[in-house]
């Protein structure tokens, strides 16, 4: 038999028997060499190599000499677990942009949806659609208390009956069985704001029985921020589950500095055995709807038609305007209409990026707080806008960031690149922490920053196979240069990607490398501990 024919036949036989040639028998699929390993635990970094087989970290050692299908020398760059963003609004955009490059390009490999009391109800169809979606990052969800309440009794301000509470508990239970990671509350928003604490605790107990966590956009981040932290702690303490103040902040100059007391409350709660924690984004501006931020909750009860009717009634309009004036002056308005910027306005996208002061002037009025309140009512009557609100203090931000019970979360979304004027946190949160607060200001160490982005949220969510670089864990990995990593998104030009990341890996596959997204779509739907 000719030698070539024999070789070909031999190859066919080997393939049929599942025997691979030497080139095919590399023990690893990907080998990252010469990394500065920051493993996510908070431990000091060390030099080493990381080997990946399939979707799993196979080995970490000072030097790995074995063959690999692909070897990448990272030349001393940081090799860290992929970042886990525990608070996102990723369902705003994930089906339009399933690669989520704004997150992936800053090292985020997992995004968690359903915060602020808002989620799909029921949850299962949403998760099923995500399963079908070819996506780059992993994604999971909470079940939202506000959405559950709306489903049962609507967006009305009244006490729920015992039967209605049982119906809400059943929806939460189903959400946990569907795979929610816990219960989110948005007690600042309608209808969450109409919910007594005792009702929330009833639902929290259900989530707790399934291993879930409670995360809360509190009732108030301004003058009542201390009472709101107490309530968040009480929900966990009495509900029997971990509890988290989400996007912790202090709004309004008169309230700056109150983080000293709120953090003391967290420390005291933890000292008596309450598993109370915090997450935070590294910006001194928040973002939500103009209506929620600058109108009283009672004015928003019952939906658009009810709101419109109140605004047409002269007496009620005057009362709403008076409260809006106070909110612009003392709370999210930051004391000046120029501190309110429009992220998007469905009825007129040309307003994106402009300020409440700009619009007030354009409407022929001086940009006083009183006139800005009138403009706010005009906006709401036309459908409203998403806004950005500059009303926080850097000292509170840094104080919260330093706290050992604080983790990082963006509160962002998945924007369509170039469209509208979203808060820059969607593009820059994790890179900003590393560039500004680790390298620049040295508020926290590199190792602690990575812990706050990886193992801490993973532990919170009971994700036992992610968040740490260790053999046997899923290969979600971010590679970046600590000397150059930075956020570039600004309030004026938010559609700018983070810099300094050279490679991002999700479930063992490279999704971003050397400035470009790849064709890989290895993201998975992740499920909470109660999944059945």
What tens digit of pLDDT does each residue of 16-37 get?
333 344 345 789 999 999 999 9
Q: Convert the pLDDT of each residue in 100-148 to its tens digit.
A: 999 999 999 999 999 999 999 999 999 999 999 999 999 999 999 999 9
Return d(Cα 234, Cα 232) in angstroms, integer. 5
Helices (H) and strands (E) in the chain, counts: 18, 21
Instruction: Map 298-345 to HEC letters.
Output: HHHCCCHHHHHHHHHCHHHHHHHHHHHHHHHHHCCCCCCHHHEEEEEE
Give the list of residues 6+ apart from residue 170 with CB closer than 8 angstroms, or none: none
Let me know: does 523 contact 138? Beta carbons within 8 Å.
Answer: yes
Question: Within 10 A of 163 (CB to CB), how many other CB atoms are there?
Answer: 9
pLDDT by position in tens, the chain (length 532) = 444 344 333 443 333 333 344 345 789 999 999 999 999 999 999 999 999 999 999 999 999 999 999 999 999 999 999 999 999 999 999 999 999 999 999 999 999 999 999 999 999 999 999 999 999 999 999 999 999 999 999 999 999 999 999 999 999 999 999 999 999 999 999 999 999 999 999 999 999 999 999 999 999 999 999 999 999 999 999 999 999 999 999 999 999 999 999 999 999 999 999 999 999 999 999 999 999 999 999 999 998 899 999 999 999 999 999 999 999 999 999 999 999 999 999 999 999 999 999 999 999 999 999 999 999 999 999 999 999 999 999 999 999 999 999 999 999 999 999 999 999 999 999 999 999 999 999 999 999 999 999 999 999 999 999 999 999 999 999 999 999 999 999 999 999 999 999 999 999 999 999 899 999 999 999 999 999 9
- Alpha-helix residue ranges (DSSP H) falling in 112-224: 124-132, 145-153, 162-178, 197-209
Closest CA to 512 of 469, 479, 484: 479
Question: Within 10 A of 358 (CB to CB), how many other CB atoms are there?
Answer: 18
Closest CA to 57 of 464, 524, 507, 474: 474
Which domains, and CATH codes, for the chain?
81-281+393-517 (3.20.20.140), 288-390 (no CATH)
| pTM assigned to the model | 0.94
């Amino acid at each position: 038999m000719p030698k070539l024919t024999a070789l070909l036949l031999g190859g066919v036989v080997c393939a049929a028997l599942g025997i691979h040639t030497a080139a095919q028998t590399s023990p690893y699929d990907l080998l990252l060499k010469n990394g500065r390993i920051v493993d996510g635990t908070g431990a000091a970094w060390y030099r080493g190599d990381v080997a990946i087989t399939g979707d799993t970290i196979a080995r970490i050692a000072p030097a790995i000499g074995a063959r690999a299908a692909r070897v990448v020398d990272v030349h001393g760059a940081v090799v860290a677990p992929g970042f886990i963003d525990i608070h996102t609004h990723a369902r705003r955009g994930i089906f339009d942009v399933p690669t989520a490059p704004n997150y992936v390009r800053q090292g985020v490999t997992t995004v968690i949806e359903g915060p602020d009391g808002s989620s799909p109800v029921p949850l299962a169809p949403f998760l099923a659609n995500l399963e079908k979606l070819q996506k780059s990052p992993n994604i999971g969800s909470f079940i939202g208390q506000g959405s559950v309440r709306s489903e049962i009794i609507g967006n009305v301000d009244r006490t729920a009956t015992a039967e209605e509470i049982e119906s809400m508990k059943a929806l939460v239970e189903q959400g946990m069985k569907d795979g929610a990671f816990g219960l989110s509350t948005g007690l600042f928003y309608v209808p969450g704001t109409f919910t007594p604490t005792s009702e929330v605790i009833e639902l929290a107990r259900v989530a707790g029985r399934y291993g879930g966590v409670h995360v809360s956009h509190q009732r108030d981040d301004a003058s009542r921020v201390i009472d709101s932290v107490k309530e968040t702690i009480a929900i966990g303490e009495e509900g029997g589950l971990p509890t988290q103040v989400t996007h912790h902040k202090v709004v309004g100059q008169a309230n700056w500095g109150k983080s000293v007391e709120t953090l003391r409350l967290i420390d005291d709660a933890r000292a008596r055995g309450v598993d109370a924690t915090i997450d935070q984004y590294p910006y001194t501006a928040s973002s939500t709807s103009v209506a929620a931020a600058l109108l009283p909750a009672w004015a928003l009860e019952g939906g658009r038609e009810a709101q419109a009717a109140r605004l047409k009634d002269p007496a009620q309009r005057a009362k709403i305007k008076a409260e809006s004036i106070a909110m612009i002056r003392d709370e999210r308005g930051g004391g000046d209409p120029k501190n309110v910027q429009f992220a998007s306005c469905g009825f007129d996208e040309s307003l994106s990026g402009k300020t409440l002061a700009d619009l007030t002037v354009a409407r022929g009025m001086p940009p006083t707080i009183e006139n800005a309140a009138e403009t706010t009512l005009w906006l709401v009557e036309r459908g409203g806008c998403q806004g950005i609100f500059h009303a926080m203090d850097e000292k509170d931000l840094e104080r919260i960031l330093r706290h050992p019970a604080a983790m990082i979360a963006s509160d962002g979304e998945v924007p369509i690149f170039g469209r509208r004027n979203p808060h820059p946190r969607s593009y820059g949160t994790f890179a900003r922490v590393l560039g500004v607060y680790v390298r620049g200001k040295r508020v926290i160490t590199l190792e602690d920053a990575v812990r706050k982005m990886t193992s801490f949220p993973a532990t919170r969510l009971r994700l036992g196979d992610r968040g740490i670089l260790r053999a046997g864990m899923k290969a979600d990995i971010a590679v970046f240069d600590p000397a150059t990593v930075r956020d570039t998104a600004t309030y004026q030009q938010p559609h700018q990607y983070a810099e300094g990341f050279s490679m991002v890996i999700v479930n063992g596959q490279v999704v971003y490398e050397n400035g470009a997204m790849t064709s890989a779509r290895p993201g998975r739907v992740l499920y909470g501990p109660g999944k059945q």
